[in-house]
Amino acid sequence: MISVSGLKKNFGAYEAVKQINFSIGKGEVVALLGPNGAGKTTTMRMLTGFYEPTAGTATIGGHDVCKERREVQAMVGYLPESASSYSDMLVEEFLNFIAQSRNLSKEAAEKGIQKAIKVTGLEKYLYTPILNLSKGYKQRVGLASALLHDPQVLILDEPTSGLDPNQIQEIRQLIRELSKEKTIILSTHILKEVEDTCERAIIIADGRIVLDDKLEKIQRMKEGREVWEFSLKGNQQAALPKIQTLLTPSESVAIQSLSDQETRFTAETQGGFNEKLFALAVAEKWTLREMFMQKQSIEDVFSRLTTKPQTGAQ
Shared domain check, 150 and 263: no
Tell whether 307 is covered by a domain.
no
Give the separation between CA 190 and CA 180, rounded to whole angstroms.
22
Distances (CA, A) of 112 to 76, 211, 300: 14, 37, 41
Shared domain check, 188 and 60: yes
DSSP secondary structure code for residue 126 in this structure: T
Segment 4-10 mean pLDDT: 96
For 27, the 3-state DSSP assignment is: coil
Shared domain check, 138 and 255: no
Domain that holds residue 64: 2-219
The answer on pLDDT for 127 being more than 70 is: yes
Tell whether 305 is covered by a domain.
no
8 A C-beta contact, residue 58 and residue 64? yes
Shared domain check, 28 and 10: yes
Residue 92: how many other CB atoms lie within 10 Å: 15
8 A C-beta contact, residue 185 and residue 155? yes
Task: Supply the pLDDT for residue 208.
Answer: 93
Do the bridges between strand 225-233 and strand 221-222 make them parallel or antiparallel, or are there none, so unpaired?
A: antiparallel
Distances (CA, A) of 20 to 49, 55, 142: 17, 10, 29
pLDDT in tens, 141-153: 998 999 999 999 9
- The domain tally of the chain equals 2
Task: Supply the pLDDT for residue 311.
Answer: 45
Boundary residue ending a domain (219, 238, 266): 219
The DSSP bridge partners found for residue 221 are: 226
First-residue to last-residue Cα distance in the chain:
32
pLDDT in tens, 55-110: 999 999 999 999 999 999 999 999 987 766 788 999 999 999 999 999 999 999 99
Query: Residue-wise over 53-66: b if at least 16 C-beta within 10 A, else e?
Result: beebebbbbebebe
pLDDT in tens, 134-185: 888 888 899 899 999 999 999 999 888 777 888 788 888 888 888 888 999 9
Shared domain check, 237 and 177: no
Shared domain check, 155 and 74: yes
- As a whole number, the mean pLDDT across the chain is 89
Shared domain check, 165 and 267: no
